[in-house]
């Protein structure tokens, strides 16, 4: 059996940064090649600059490093995608095509992240079923619907072992999201811990599916390690963590930081959020590969505040320490 050698695209992103770290702990540092279109801020060796639109460079990198598995995280998210739809479509679709072609050519296993953004009109908002009409209103959502179907196509036609989950909004202390509609749910904790007021770009009562980073990473690792024959959905699986509104999140933060100030000023992202489910039904993931989330809103808030407060204290101490030496 080939020893697993992993390539991550979009390794500087919110999920990519944490997934790189986790997979290195599991497989060893030099078995996980981090790649992105930009250099990382921190040292995450081994790292290579890689543009997923450059097919030749992608094939060369796979060959040079004897890659066996790709986690393809490079993509433009929902809000940013609306600012330049053609660009978002090109990156999300041509990038995926290059990955799927490489997977077919080199017989690679692939992880493709889909999203709750695949849903739109004509679905029940609560507990949206796995097999619902997929009529998204964002270019990001359209690219994820098409991407899911291309993944299934390559699986059926070319036996590519490609696996996928529909991520909700992801919340973690390790990295910042960028360009998404659910980004507010991370930034709010940073503001609270820094004792700054927060202006939310969604209305107080907008309920969205959310998930703690630990659950998201575990779901990713678990689906990639599940026996292939158990995976009956080869488009993408609904996975649920929890769901809440900004007002509920603020209430949970105020249990720790009572004076936290929040105002609401909805912008274009409100329309995107309004088109998405409030919660999703993940029975298929639970049945097929035993998916179980662990983090409630209460637990997410407690961990986020503890972790971010510790980081803040450490930053503060490292700034003042020379004076005391
Ligand atoms: C976004 O807000 O665009 C993403 C997502 C839910 O896919 N976080």
Using one digit for the tens of pLDDT, what is the confidence trace for 153-171? 999 999 999 999 999 999 9
Residue whose CB lies within 8 A of the most ligand 1 atoms, among 74, 75, 78, for a mutation test: 78
Q: Which atom of ligand 1 is nearest to the CA of 181?
A: 2
Task: Read off the pLDDT band of 312 (50, 70, 90).
Answer: confident
Average pLDDT in the 280-296 region? Answer: 98
State which ligand 1 atom lies nearest to the alpha carbon of 208: 6
**Residue 182 Cβ < 6 Å to ligand 1:** yes
For residue 181, report the distance from its CA to the centre of ligand 1, in Å: 6
Q: Whose CA is nearest to atom 1 of ligand 1?
A: 180
Residues with a catalytic annotation lie at 140
Q: What's the pLDDT score for residue 324?
A: 47
Atom number of ligand 1 nearest to Cα 182? 2
Question: Please, what is the Cα angle at 153 between 150 and 157, to 5 degrees?
Answer: 145
Contacts of 94 (CB under 8 A, 6+ apart): 52, 53
CA distance 105 to 59: 9
- Tokens (6 digits) for 105: 């050519």
Alpha-helical runs (H) found in 199-259 = 213-225, 246-254
CA distance 233 to 107: 20
- Is the minimum distance from the CB of 116 to ligand 1 under 6 angstroms? yes
- Predicted TM-score (pTM) of this structure: 0.96
In whole angstroms, what separates CA 289 from the centre of its chain? 19
Question: Cα(166) to centroid of ligand 1, in Å?
Answer: 10
User: Rounded to 5 degrees, what are φ and ψ at 294?
Assistant: -120, -20
CA distance from start to end of the chain: 55
Q: 120: helix, coil or strand?
A: coil
Q: How far is the CA of 165 from the centre of ligand 1 (A)?
A: 13
Spacing, Cα 134 to ligand 1 middle (Å): 16
- Tokens standing for residue 257: 């930081």
Are 41 and 53 spatial neighbours (Cβ–Cβ below 8 Å)?
A: no
201 lines ligand 1 (CB under 6 A): no
Rounded to whole angstroms, the Cα distance separating 73 from 92 reads 10
pLDDT of residue 56: 98
Per-residue pLDDT, 44: 87
Largest CA distance in the chain: 66
User: Cβ-count burial of 90 within 10 angstroms (0-12 exposed, 13-18 middle, 19+ buried)?
Assistant: middle
Q: What pLDDT, in 10s, does the model give residues 86-143? A: 999 999 999 999 999 999 999 999 999 999 999 999 999 999 999 999 999 999 999 9
| Rg for the chain, CA atoms, rounded | 20
Phi, psi of 199 (to 5 degrees): -105, 115
* Ligand 1 atom at minimal distance to the Cα of residue 14: 8
Give me ligand 1 centre to Cα 1, in Å.
Answer: 36
């Amino acid at each position: 059996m080939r020893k697993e050698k992993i390539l991550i695209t979009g390794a500087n992103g919110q999920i990519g940064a944490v997934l790189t770290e986790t997979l290195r702990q599991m497989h060893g540092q030099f078995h996980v090649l981090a790649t992105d279109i930009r250099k990382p801020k921190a040292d995450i060796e081994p790292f290579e600059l890689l543009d997923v639109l450059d097919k030749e460079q992608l094939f060369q990198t796979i060959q040079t490093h004897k890659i066996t598995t790709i986690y393809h995280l490079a993509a433009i998210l929902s809000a940013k995608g609306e600012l330049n739809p053609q660009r978002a479509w090109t990156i999300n679709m041509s990038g995926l095509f290059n990955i799927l072609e490489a997977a077919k050519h080199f017989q690679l296993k692939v992880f493709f992240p889909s999203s709750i953004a695949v849903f739109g009109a004509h679905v029940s908002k609560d507990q949206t079923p796995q097999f619902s009409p997929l009529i998204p209103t964002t270019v990001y959502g359209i690219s994820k619907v098409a991407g899911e179907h291309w993944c299934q196509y390559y699986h059926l036609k070319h036996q590519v072992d490609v696996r996928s989950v529909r991520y909700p909004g992801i919340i973690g202390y390790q990295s910042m999201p960028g360009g998404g509609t659910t980004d507010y749910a991370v930034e709010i904790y940073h503001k609270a811990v820094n004792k700054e007021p927060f202006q939310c770009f969604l209305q107080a009562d907008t309920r969205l599916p959310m998930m703690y980073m630990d659950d998201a990473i575990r779901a990713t690792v678990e689906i990639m390690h599940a026996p292939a024959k158990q995976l009956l959905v080869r488009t993408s699986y609904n996975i649920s963590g929890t769901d809440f509104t900004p007002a509920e999140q603020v209430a949970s933060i105020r249990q720790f930081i009572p004076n936290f100030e929040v105002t609401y000023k909805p912008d274009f992202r409100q329309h995107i959020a309004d088109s998405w489910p409030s919660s999703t039904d993940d029975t298929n993931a639970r049945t097929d590969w035993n998916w179980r989330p662990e983090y409630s809103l209460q637990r997410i808030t407690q961990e986020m505040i503890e972790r971010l407060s510790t980081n803040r204290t450490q930053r503060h101490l490292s700034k003042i320490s020379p004076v005391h030496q």
